[in-house]
């Protein structure tokens, strides 16, 4: 029997409740398809931070980098200033492990209600490839008061090291600024990944940018896209401004097959994607380093107000578990999990409040684990 060791980081809020159900279903998949998962538990999140002062250490990151995949719940806690845990844990892991693809399927399952009138599962079925390490997420910027000041900004990565020395001379009362950057290496690898996906799908790749205004950064993105497109003559392509694509997602979702976007626009449009596929309770994501360690999580956050109530929908997390299995090569089990989720929804008997039911988080996890064994 194949043995896997998988680090699991349940995190904050509802994280532990949804991860418990995800593990239940992945363990059931193991029984059915002949593999065994040893879960390695990591305590990182708000409580751990308040107790020890540690967000996540270099040693822990090194340790995590030995594994193929990590299962992640959610982080964020009202006791801690917004951004501290998100940047200190989630983004730190994404960057350290160089998980340069954020893969977000936007797929309306059979039986799920969508707010888009007259759209069906065959209309809403595409994948967003969000760049996951660069753009306005690199985390450099600052504030400057009136007068002269200096600032050094640095981006230290495996891929490159970049330093900006700023000489500021300003007569505004005060400014706040943030630098975004994309690199040739970073852009090409994610666009190539998206072309490979599109090639194996409906051979259509849509690029997202705002090259009409932010032309230095996204004009560069377009040039790299065009250069890689030349290697894929069978894949049809188009460019979309980010504002316009939000409109098309609502009006003509059936147009899309694979969509590739810079980090921040990808973040924004995938929340919209989550809504048209039935809500955040149903939207999974994978932070992928194809050659290294990937991490799988629901798109939604830690929903502190529901913590401990066994109430929220575990489907996004269970689906993220399916993406995890697919990444480590358990394709059959991964597909069976999505089928079991769909069967649970079509049956319509065991569902959480967001889908109009009154069952608990664990009821839904158990039902999907049971259905999985019958598929």
Residues that bind Mn ion (CB under 5 A): 267
Nearest position to ligand IPM, beta carbon: 86
Binding of residue 86 to ligand IPM (CB under 6 A)? yes
Question: For residues 297 and 342, which CB has a smaller minimum distance to ligand IPM in the complex?
Answer: 297
- What separation in angstroms does the CA of 319 have from each of 26, 166, 266, 315? 10, 45, 20, 6
Each residue 283-312 as x (binds ligand IPM by CB under 6 A) or -, in order, gives: ----------------x-------------
Question: For residues 267 and 342, which CB has a smaller minimum distance to ligand IPM in the complex?
Answer: 267
Minimum distance of ligand IPM from residue 11's CB (angstroms)? 11
All residues at 6 or more sequence positions from 216 whose CB lies less than 8 Å from its CB, including other chains: none
CA distance 42 to 65: 14
Indicate the pairing of strand 284-288 with strand 101-107. antiparallel
Minimum distance of ligand IPM from residue 339's CB (angstroms)? 26
Question: For residues 209 and 297, which CB has a smaller minimum distance to ligand IPM in the complex?
Answer: 297
Question: For residues 99 and 267, which CB has a smaller minimum distance to ligand IPM in the complex?
Answer: 267
- 35: which strand partners? 2
Binding partner of 364, given Mn ion, ligand IPM, none, CB within 5-8 angstroms per partner class: none
240 closest CA partner among 259, 226, 217, 215: 259
What DSSP character marks residue 255?
G
How many other CB atoms are found less than 10 A from the CB of residue 116?
Answer: 18
CA distance 162 to 256: 35
Assess contact for 331 and 366: CB atoms under 8 A. no
Q: Could you give phi then psi for residue 201, rounded to 5 degrees?
A: -115, -125
Binding partner of 91, given Mn ion, ligand IPM, none, CB within 5-8 angstroms per partner class: ligand IPM
Q: What is the rounded (10 degree) CA torsion for 307, 102, 181, 175?
A: -20
Minimum distance of ligand IPM from residue 255's CB (angstroms)? 23
CA distance 65 to 226: 33
Binding of residue 91 to ligand IPM (CB under 6 A)? yes
Stretch that binds ligand IPM, among 83-91, 107-115, 228-236, 334-342 (CB under 6 A): 83-91
Q: C-alpha 136: how far from its chain's center?
A: 16
Minimum distance of ligand IPM from residue 352's CB (angstroms)? 21
Minimum distance of Mn ion from residue 202's CB (angstroms)? 26
Among 19, 25, 90, 324, binds ligand IPM (CB under 6 A): 90
- What separation in angstroms does the CA of 370 have from each of 10, 22, 99, 357, 373? 23, 13, 33, 19, 6
Question: For residues 170 and 246, which CB has a smaller minimum distance to ligand IPM in the complex?
Answer: 246
Binding partner of 295, given ligand IPM, Mn ion, none, CB within 5-8 angstroms per partner class: none
Each residue 336-355 as x (binds ligand IPM by CB under 6 A) or -, in order, gives: --------------------
Q: How many residues interact with ligand IPM (rule CB under 6 A)?
A: 5
Binding partner of 318, given ligand IPM, Mn ion, none, CB within 5-8 angstroms per partner class: none
Q: Could you give phi then psi for residue 260, rounded to 5 degrees?
A: -120, 135
Minimum distance of Mn ion from residue 285's CB (angstroms)? 9
Assess contact for 317 and 73: CB atoms under 8 A. yes
Terminus-to-terminus CA distance in the chain, angstroms?
21
Binding partner of 90, given ligand IPM, Mn ion, none, CB within 5-8 angstroms per partner class: ligand IPM
Stretch that binds ligand IPM, among 59-67, 86-94, 189-197, 237-245 (CB under 6 A): 86-94
Minimum distance of ligand IPM from residue 287's CB (angstroms)? 8
Binding of residue 267 to ligand IPM (CB under 6 A)? yes
- Token representation of residue 359: 């069952």
Which residues form the interface with ligand IPM (CB under 6 A)? Answer: 86, 90-91, 267, 299
């Amino acid at each position: 029997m194949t043995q896997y060791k998988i680090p699991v980081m349940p995190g904050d809020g509802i994280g532990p409740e949804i991860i418990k159900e995800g593990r239940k279903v992945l363990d059931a998949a193991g029984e059915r398809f002949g593999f065994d998962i040893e879960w390695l538990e990591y305590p990182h999140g708000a409580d751990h931070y308040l107790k020890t002062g540690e967000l996540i250490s270099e040693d822990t990151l090194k340790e995590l980098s030995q594994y193929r995949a990590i299962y992640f719940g959610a982080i964020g806690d009202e006791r801690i200033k917004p951004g501290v845990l998100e940047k200190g844990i989630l983004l730190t892991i994404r960057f350290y492990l160089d998980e340069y693809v954020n893969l977000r399927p936007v797929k309306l399952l059979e039986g799920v209600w969508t707010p888009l009138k007259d759209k069906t599962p065959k209309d809403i079925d595409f994948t967003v490839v969000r760049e996951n390490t660069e753009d306005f997420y690199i985390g450099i910027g600052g504030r400057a008061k009136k007068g002269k000041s200096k600032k050094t900004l640095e981006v230290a990565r495996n891929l490159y090291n970049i330093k900006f020395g700023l000489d500021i001379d300003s007569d505004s009362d005060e400014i706040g600024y943030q630098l975004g950057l994309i690199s040739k290496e970073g852009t090409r690898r994610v666009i190539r990944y998206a072309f490979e996906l599109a090639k194996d799908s409906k051979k259509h790749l849509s690029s997202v940018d705002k090259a009409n205004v932010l032309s230095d950064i996204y004009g560069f993105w377009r040039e790299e896209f065009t250069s890689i497109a030349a290697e894929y003559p069978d894949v049809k392509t188009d460019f979309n401004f980010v504002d316009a694509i939000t409109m098309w997602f609502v009006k003509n979702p059936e147009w899309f097959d694979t969509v590739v976007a810079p980090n921040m626009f990808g973040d924004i449009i995938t929340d919209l994607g989550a809504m048209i596929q039935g809500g955040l309770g149903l939207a999974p994501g994978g932070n992928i380093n194809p050659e290294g360690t990937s991490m799988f999580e629901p798109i939604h956050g830690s929903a502190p107000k529901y913590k401990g109530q066994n109430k929220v929908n575990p489907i996004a997390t269970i689906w993220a578990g399916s993406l995890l299995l697919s990444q480590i090569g358990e394709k059959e089990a991964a597909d069976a999990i999505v089928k079991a989720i769909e069967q649970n929804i079509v049956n319509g008997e065991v569902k959480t409040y967001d889908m109009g039911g009154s069952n608990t988080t664990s009821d839904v996890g158990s039902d999907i684990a049971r259905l999985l064994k019958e598929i």
